[in-house]
Structure 1
């Protein structure tokens, strides 16, 4: 902290601060902390140091509030410039934006903060800026770059003797080593950080490093050790009463219980974490805990509770705009709905997750979503679609080094190939799965060895320290003993006092001896722990000192005899124990490693048991100490019994050979079946053509019958009127020629003539209208050209001609379109279809009601557009649904409805627009609903 900051902090703590004209940001109305109250009362000159102190303590938990204070501070600094303060504020601003997923903005801000620190040559601000920059790079999965940036910050901290920042940076670098799968290095840095925090008297951070070590052990599967570390850390935090740290530790400890299968205890701890985070208003952490609780409930089989927690997590992530955790919540919900075989919901959530992770450019998560979608397609029986998705998942996950996802995708891919009869491809996928599983197992084993080596080295150093301490105690005891004897002789005359001194000496000596015994017991326990760890992994640990040529072995295989020394560092003594076929390769591999000492040494060979049988072992080692010239002086490694693995490998080879034979037989059988199936298909095609012709004749008969029925009524009325008019005219002419025509007969003739003309005109017009309607049943393919248009605007046009009817009946409509959708199709045809549906709702659905509602929802999925139409009218009876799209079918024929509306709509959608329309059965008493699906580009329709 700069001198200016110390000065302003002192001033802020000693002076009465006047209230500010505007309030500080709040997450909970009326809940201001002591810090916020001080900031609100401070003047502009005193406000900046207080804001910096608030940001230092709270930016990791309160991003929105922190950003508000950053803006407030920068506004003050614009009037009263101070580059040192501005650099610190911008570093914290970048931190908050990083937590909110705004990494581009955070990168720009931290670059500005670093430039300000460099311009003022301020090492403290450089340390802070490099630290934040490294964390931003880590959030973008640039772990090597993040490690290099954090090392720059660490070097400055070492140069300035800043022990606290050294400890914090060691912790952050440990995270990056863990992300790079260098777990031994990660554990080493966490424990170095713990040591520094202990020296600083910071029990809280020291406990955090215990927790980090526990999380690391959890990642290599050593759950008991992980739980031990985390419970130690949890006890420290409970004693300290640190709510924020307790919230995190409860969450991490619960994850270990979850991995152990103790879901009840995991949920208890998750609930403790959630309660604390809710009290703190730590909404970002609440999302994480809700996600973990949802997963625990799912694993425990309580799907209802799991859905509840995951939906809450999704809603909160959207509220705080944390896109990555929103995507994770959507992914978990998609998987849960998939397991319940609710595929529409699963599809929706998985699509949402894919969109989020694509925008965030998170390849490992994209691969997870593709894998989940592939599994869903497998459950739906769409094996070829599933295969394509799984291939995409493997390709993306392989680039992101997401081995677990690649492994699961290969296994699922093999099952899908087997389901469609592609046995050769299934075999290839299975081989890839086996190979990757072996590679991952080797990596896990090396990681465990690295962690054990670090633990072993630390135990060795601790024993050396304890040995030196013990020697110092013994020397001190000898000196104390001599002094006690001399004092005894000198004060022999004071017998009573001498007696008391002697008693004190004896008690003190016994205490010191008890301390030594306890220290020796702890050393023994540490050795036992190492042996148990090796025993649990089934490994023998060997340590080869190239200087003394001695080999130390721990957890040695009891039925194998191996040399304890290699004279002149030559492994020739192993010849008697190693299989003759394997020894040359072993010697060559070790010689190459001793020459290059790059990476690590690995060899697979057979060792002779005492009973004469052979045991396969995997021997892996690495140089851990070097001389000044860079040559290795000590190599440590493990021997692992892989006899069972080799047996499984041989069995797999045999199984693959048998599988290939079965594939050949199955292929031959499939060829015969294919020929028979081809013959059947030809028969079915002939039958299909016959059925089509029959159906055409039947449809034509129904159509002709319908047309005849509809036109017959107005035409019959017209003919009747013409006949009546003819009779009337003949009577009128007879009276006229006979000169018997009266005025009343003349008036009657004119009146009846006028009535007949009107009747003829009306029915002729009705016949003409019917003919025009019949023409619409055959979709005209040449009257309109396809073009690009906005879907929502087109639907709006369909309502234009019905505005008066909607207003008269107090009806309303809504069009939901989450984003603009532009399609290439025939807008006039689509308007005609929508007008038919609207007319049906007005004159059928809302016939007896007022205040009807029409809801239209528009969506787009890949190259298809969906229009969901629904009203809340009286609905359609069950017995009418099957005939809904047939021509001339209507329940209102007595009101001059022809029954051609929905038939015309069906023809337009099916033939003109290249899609489909079907009646969607709505819930009881909710009206009628239709779903229209058309291609977004009519030129690409199949």
Structure 2
């Protein structure tokens, strides 16, 4: 072994080298990575041109000078690593270093490996440093992160837009239901107003005749009969209006709250259909419904009502377009001890294979030119599978109508509730 030593400024020996200087220099000059050898007091004993890229100083300038003289920004970190190696004798691997030279505007990155260099006696006499530039990799990682962040932001924007459209679709369905209920309520209220006005006029005439003292028994009998008839009509029509308003209020209240509770499926279905019938009657579509009595469900009445409402309006818009008439059959019955089957079938125009395949996709619609959003059946699918923990199946053929089968658990599982909350 040669005892060749590099000299510091001032003539002090730097460190004992453990292999011939020419061989060491050849390794340094041809290495594809940055190499250096540091003394225990952090002075450069050897360095190759590749590593001087970190600070932009020459090889000659480094030799004999301290790290603090050459790269002051990294001096504290380097000195800490060297102290650790001197104290423990263990190498330090994979330390990333970032730097920006004064003559360049771009930041560059290296990953460094630090190993002790020992004399034959085992004493650590220097520290070998290898530095691999990873600037391109770091830039690629940064670009990937930026692309990922941009994609996540776009996805969040899309989710927010979808949520807004879903809410708009719900409000649109509620608005259509309100219009139908308002039209239906107008009939009994209008009849009641007519009867009440007629009764008021007859009462005024009866009072005038009684005031003149010429009241006959036949007049009194006729007036009592008229009051009885008017009262029956008023009670019948106002009860009808009150029933519609009550059903709508209950459905709206269920839609407005998301708490689970136990409810009678048939009773809730009846209230929902009471609000939907006006829309079907206006379009000339017959709505037939049969619900098995005493079907109890522990779940979410609002989402269940939303499913029926969306299925109804989807049938009106797509199964019976352009004023076409037809019929819709709704059947609700038990499916074993743990499930309830809901079948919503129409005899409308049906779906092609492609439409059937994409029926539950968000934003897919065949009537976008008429303002459809393509979210009605997508909402149905999400509510049934996520909120209610059930399964949904759609069967349809062109010209043969559409059949939607829902299989819902009588008790909505906690797993479904957690998925909904997420």
Taking structure 2 as the reference length, the TM-score comes to 0.38
Higher relative contact order, structure no. (Cα contacts within 8 Å, ≥ 6 residues apart): 2
Task: Say which structure is richer in helix.
Answer: 1
Task: Say which structure is richer in strand.
Answer: 2
